[in-house]
């Protein structure tokens, strides 16, 4: 079902956030334990900053926990979910994974529950709606790692030169893109439907049209009338009119689109908070508004939470729990959020961000959380359905695309996957 953020408050346990971490290395094996951590890369410019962040957390943890080592591997977002799935299938599951979906592993009893891993103060500090989204059959398995909401970004300089205002309807998006195209803007509207994160761009447009991946009771509705309408419009009124740039949407990945925006080559695109930092480094003046619906403000916009989980295979429950308690300290949570201009997932860190004027540019994203809709991450079928969308959705807006037919095929496949779980 649609999962909406209902607010930004939750109760933090009165005993505070100090967690004892000593002695965990001596449990179980009796010798040194090495935890394998596989994480996703958040560096928008393809650097090694994510790896350096996790190496720093690991080094600080190891200094306080003799006998426990952390082996860190970071993969690009377009690869990380598949890499972890292949490791698990080969019987070589990591101890900790930070990826996009957890429910399929939880359904196969491959994960520790959150209750088995975290101390009570750390559990209590998660934003309640995010914590709820990490449950399968009311048992928490997924730990929210970082959150974001999505807004429509536009290049204020290009808009000013073209005499444009921020669009408030689909027609205004189309007319603005046409005006930018006439002025020679390389990507009037960048539409990344490549395999990196096509499921996100897809969901944004579905929600914009009043649809979504699921209906009110949680049943897949991928080929619903609003969803088909959205992709008919994209195919005919943006892509078909040559308003999405020189790279076909099926071949355009988010990272490439973000880099082009930061280089001043994009008029509009859907973006998340990290793009602000990337664009400002290049001197691009950024405007932001909610992605409009066909006739105005949509009912909901997209929110995203990425997930952390602990695998049972190697039997390192206590060590995994100790490391995660450490990783979710305010210092670590805020450091990562600050580095990539993302939204923290804990109450204390969110309050700190909302009260700090240095983060004023992120406040619109925090304000968008209450009405945001998440992926259906509690569905055990979601990981496979997401992969199917990544592979197929780009073709829908091409010259030979068939929105109704392809969305219908994806929808039938989704239902079959859901029923087989």
Q: Go through the domains of the chain in sequence order and give each one's CATH number.
A: 3-148+304-372 (3.40.190.10), 151-290+381-420 (3.40.190.10)
Cα 360 from Cα 375, distance rounded (Å) = 27
Cα 334 from Cα 72, distance rounded (Å) = 20
The model's confidence at residue 14, banded by pLDDT at 50, 70 and 90, is very low
Choice between 2 and 147, residue whose per-residue pLDDT is larger: 147
Beta 96-99 vs 33-40: how paired, if at all? parallel
- Per-residue tokens: 1: 């079902």
Crossing angle of the two packed helices 254-262 and 274-281, in degrees rounded to 10: 40
Q: What is the DSSP letter of 360?
A: G
Average the pLDDT over 33-56 and give the result: 94
- Per-residue tokens: 394: 């780009």
pLDDT of residue 372: 82
Residues 6+ apart with CB under 8 A from 248: 394, 398
* Mean pLDDT of all residues belonging to the chain: 90
The model's confidence at residue 420, banded by pLDDT at 50, 70 and 90, is confident
Q: Which residue has the tokens 């008029």?
A: 267
Cβ-in-10-Å burial (0-12, 13-18, 19+) of 86 comes to: exposed
Cα 266 from Cα 189, distance rounded (Å) = 7
List, for residues 133-163, the tens digit of each pLDDT value: 899 989 999 999 999 889 999 999 999 999 9
Cα 371 from Cα 5, distance rounded (Å) = 6
pLDDT of residue 370: 61
**Radius of gyration of the chain, Cα coordinates, nearest whole angstrom:** 21
Contact 341, 362 (CB under 8 A): yes
DSSP state letters, 121-165: HHHHTB-HHHHHHTEETTEE-PEEEEEEE-EEEEEHHHHHHTT--
Contact 201, 270 (CB under 8 A): yes
CA atoms within 13 A on the CB side of 164: 27
| Of the candidates 160, 216, 206, 231, the residue with the CA atom closest to the CA atom of residue 398 | 231
Average the pLDDT over 105-109 and give the result: 95
Contact 102, 307 (CB under 8 A): yes
Q: H or E stretch including 390?
A: helix 382-392
List, for residues 235-293, the tens digit of each pLDDT value: 999 999 999 999 999 999 999 999 999 999 999 999 988 898 899 899 999 999 999 99
Cα 176 from Cα 169, distance rounded (Å) = 11
- Over 70: is that where the pLDDT of 357 sits? yes
Cα 88 from Cα 310, distance rounded (Å) = 12
- Per-residue tokens: 64: 């306080």
Any bridge partners for residue 311, and if so which? 111
Highest-confidence segment of 5-19, 91-105, 375-389: 91-105
pLDDT of residue 298: 87
- Over 50: is that where the pLDDT of 348 sits? yes
Contact 190, 259 (CB under 8 A): no
pLDDT of residue 25: 35
Count of C-beta atoms within a 10 Å radius of residue 230 = 26
Count of C-beta atoms within a 10 Å radius of residue 231 = 25
Contact 246, 190 (CB under 8 A): no
pLDDT of residue 27: 39
| Burial track 323-344 (b if 16+ CB lie within 10 A, e otherwise) | bbbbbbbeebbbebbbbbbbbb
List, for residues 322-335, the tens digit of each pLDDT value: 999 999 999 999 99
pLDDT of residue 378: 86
């Amino acid at each position: 079902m649609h999962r909406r953020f209902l607010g930004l408050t939750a109760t933090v346990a009165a005993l505070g956030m100090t967690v004892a971490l000593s002695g965990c290395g001596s449990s179980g094996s009796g010798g040194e334990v090495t935890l394998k951590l596989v994480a996703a890369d958040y560096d928008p410019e393809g650097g090694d900053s994510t790896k350096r962040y996790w190496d720093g957390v690991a080094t600080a943890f190891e200094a306080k926990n003799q006998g426990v080592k952390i082996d860190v591997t970071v993969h690009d977002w377009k690869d990380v979910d598949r890499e972890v799935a292949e490791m698990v299938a080969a019987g070589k599951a990591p101890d900790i994974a930070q990826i996009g979906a957890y429910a399929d592993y939880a359904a196969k009893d491959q994960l520790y529950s959150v209750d088995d891993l975290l101390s009570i103060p750390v559990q209590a500090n998660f934003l309640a709606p995010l914590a709820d989204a990490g449950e399968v059959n009311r048992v928490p398995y997924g730990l929210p790692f970082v959150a974001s909401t999505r807004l429509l970004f536009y290049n204020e300089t290009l808009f000013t030169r073209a005499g444009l205002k921020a669009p408030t309807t689909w027609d205004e998006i189309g007319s603005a893109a046409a005006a930018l195209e006439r002025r020679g803007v390389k990507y009037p509207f960048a539409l990344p439907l490549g395999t990196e994160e096509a499921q996100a761009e897809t969901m944004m447009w579905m929600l914009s049209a009043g649809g979504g991946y699921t209906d009110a009771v949680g049943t897949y509705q991928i080929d619903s009338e609003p969803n088909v309408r959205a992709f008919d419009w994209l195919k005919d009124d943006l892509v078909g009119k040559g308003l999405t740039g020189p790279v076909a949407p099926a071949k355009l990945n988010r990272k490439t689109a973000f880099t082009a925006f930061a280089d001043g080559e994009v008029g509009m695109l859907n973006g998340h908070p990290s793009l602000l930092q990337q664009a400002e480094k290049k001197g691009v003046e950024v405007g932001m508004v909610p992605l409009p619906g066909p006739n105005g403000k949509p009912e909901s916009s997209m929110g995203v939470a990425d997930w952390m989980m602990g695998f049972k295979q190697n039997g390192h429950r206590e060590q995994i729990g100790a490391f995660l308690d450490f990783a979710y300290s305010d210092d670590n949570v805020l450091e990562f959020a600050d580095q990539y201009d993302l939204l923290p997932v804990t109450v204390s860190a969110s309050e700190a961000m909302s009260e700090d004027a240095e983060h004023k540019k992120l406040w619109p994203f925090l304000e968008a959380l209450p009405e945001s809709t998440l992926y259906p991450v509690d569905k055990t079928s979601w990981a496979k359905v997401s992969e199917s969308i990544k592979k197929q959705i780009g073709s829908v807006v091409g010259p030979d695309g068939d929105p109704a037919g392809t969305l219908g095929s994806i929808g039938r496949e989704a239902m079959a996957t859901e029923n087989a779980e």
